[in-house]
Structure 1
């Protein structure tokens, strides 16, 4: 039954009306004046220039007026006089003015605190939404910034859930755009399972714009949410929500006139009046008990739902507010994964306590996507927390990608993701802590490199190769890492290697061999030529990067190249020239010169052939590394002509898209995002 909030005009006995209204207000004050539930806030910049002080002042003045307005109206679309600030707030159609004012008050405070120097921003609560901009948006349906949330409980029968959701949502889409409040709820029951839905538009929209907005969200829900037991999509102009538990306030039914009309006093005298009074009093008592019972059950149900999972929607999709080219929202889904390995959603308070509020003393390193901190949980477990930078344009995408990829994988040579945190605008990844930091911290340090004897280096090479082989061939997904380098190989207390940083990883289909991409990510000097120059990606791209890494481990030198042909050649070209002249031993680090076989240089050069078809697979590499025979190694290798053309003197990441580095490095050298 579709409901729209409206006022009653039906007459009733005045004493009963007053009493019941009082009871309803008492109940409403208890149930409706709940603490606003924060969802997310995003800062938007539509100008590269500094925000003028006058705009900031006008914005603060305007936002300070909104709570007072919200105490008398649940919607306002306004602009400051000559201030160039446009604002809008909208409270959910079922909340009281008191709740609306409280929500708008908090929203105005939060948006000023989180976005102090931004010309545009939006904040979503369960009970209200507030936004502002220096560009007028009145009457324009905007859906490019989205917040998607869905229930984290197990799904019920997808087909059954789809039918229930469709019938409710379609009814609301056809109805809500043509109502005064542009708000409506719908409910039904199937096989004893209640279903609830809500739709709402900002009231500055026309009916047609509201209809188009809701239809677009309905289409989006087809792609993300059908078959889930609860979900919502919020945009600046409209919203849809579907749950199997009640999440909105149900308005009381309008009072009805008693049958038979009013008594004129004739023929009954005082006896009839006494009976009517007794009847009225009895009715009031019955209704009062019923209302209080409903109130108690409602409160109990809400408390039980929140504690037992009845209201367990969790933010899984955040809009990219940092100005990237992505208009669509970016989803984070943590489905079932191998060996049912648990990935925990940590609270921000837990992470802050573990890292001493992200103190400098706990800082382990600085990557292209933000700093990494050491922490210790209450149970004594040590962790490493990657804090994605708010200024990183690819930070949210990396966060999504890393969670989605790594939770599906488990191998002794892959770093273990313990959990994540999405709260108060923070995007945090929590990993196992590895005491020996990253490979580059040892390999390129004159003193620490002496600790890497041949046995340790061979173990690192072979372990990294096995990790890549697992990604390419043995896991249930085919993963292309795309940024294999020394800083992304972490070392545990036994110096065993663990591949890290899956923020730029690419998932391939079962039979997929290669793909083309317009967005090249990775680190110059490690990129395969066909990927750096043409955007062609395959497992052989990682093989090339692994070959460069092998040369670095063998030589103890960083792969440095130059765009200037007059400068020194890259490590790859140096290795090829020495090997082709029979002087390969000159490349080997003096710390391991007595033990490192020259055939390993041959394997590394084979991995770095220009033609990907001439590079071995990682399983073949693992086999060659474990063998002492040279029979399977081709005698003739081609000179890597393209190697000097795209290596970079400072080992910076691609300027087209920065990447995250290994989070425990001494020399972070990725590009900006």
Structure 2
């Protein structure tokens, strides 16, 4: 159990009171230690009394007469509130009366309060409200107990209504004793993580408390709680206002409290709350020391070692040694198999299958020339560093996209053919289809499915074309891209990480169905492989996950991040980095997160979608923010994303802070690492309208 005794010296945010620092050498040696501490103790009590003296607030929205029915109803509901809360687990909401005399009441205790502490706090606060707000029709109190409690009453319904004003802010008079730049991210991660946990509580309790270790061997504690009647979104928004409010008023001090009528936030460098069985203390960082199991009890001094005991021990030792050898053999065999499979991923196909597929996909150069009119400029769709893309038409009337890659040596032709053989097995309605290839006269040519509506980027970037993207169509595109990624990650015979998902790599067919294209930077994983590192960073700034850019870490969550960015672009009609009206550059993820925290997510939505299904829009914003979270482990898999998009009843976890890199920060990383400039978006063949696969060279570096 953690003691709730309060040792902190708090100061009101409106009145700064600091204890002067006096060097210990100035004090006479004979001064008793108690007298040395007495001034600071008195100051601490004075500050706390000052800070908590205004525990009640009477709203000036109307009065009642002392002899009227409203007065009687208020007295009845407040006098019985403590017992009502005790019988309902520390939270109660109800009403008394009818018509204009009805009184609504709501109260909750802090999540670590005992039943006795809660009852006393509520009883005292209710009495104070009746005395200090004698005729006001609405008021609230934070109580004067420790832990505190909150009571609200009003002549209008208050259940589920977020109330954030007025706010009480107190802070400890001491300063953080470590580098602030090092301390701030730790503080932010703890408080925001607990805010999310608290918001995901029940309709009876929305409370979270936790701790984390600091580099200076101290431990930081924090507690956040909302009124249980709030929605998860309103709860999280209320708590983030508390966190932001504290940073604005009291940044640099080593503890503090922000209290609002609907939520509570407190943190300090000592355990100020009780860890209860129902609300276990959360530790958000690994413990500094791991407790070891108790050592086995030694045998008594007079214990005899018999021959039977020796034989039994010998058998156990042999069995253990044999098991260890077997485990080592299994591990070595598996490692060799994985290395072989990764060095030659085409082994998933038999030699006969490879030959048959390669022959069926082979086009003659004469067929290609006829289809695209000898590489006529009139048929060119776009070009990039890899080559050019042309629109073509086969003899059977089928339209195709022809990609003419840079010429290669004879040694590269077999590699190219093997890659074609591999990727042709990827057959899904939301992936661009590879129809064939041509390797004649030194040419490397790909024959691809033709997408008449070009790329999604062409619609998002064009204010005229965007009119044709109704919400129903955008939602269908989002779901199609999600299903395509799910196939790449889980449902195909291979596991492929795309690494460059963006709107220009989502082509649209006749029916506006999305087709993921451009596998030039794709990464082939062994089916049971979860993560790998590479020194070869490729992709497009704004869509690459930060852990990939910074550390070269590749996983399915790399694509999940890119998908989240694309969804936000589809919803907002803005690029991942855009210029606001004031002329200042603002990243789309930062803008989305800021409005989510403020409880104004619909500011993100494209004005052309006014009147669209608000619940679906909000859910998609929610899912997108889950996908771009800074914590890679918290991002959902594409399987979970497809499930969340397909079912409105699936409960969504609350998102945490997103991670995003501006173009300037990416350039800075590349420069500091000595790699020159970041990779440009050369993974495109487009003239502003169409993008197709660059190459089929799957990276296995």
Using structure 1 for the length normalisation, give the TM-score.
Answer: 0.45
Using structure 2 for the length normalisation, give the TM-score.
Answer: 0.44
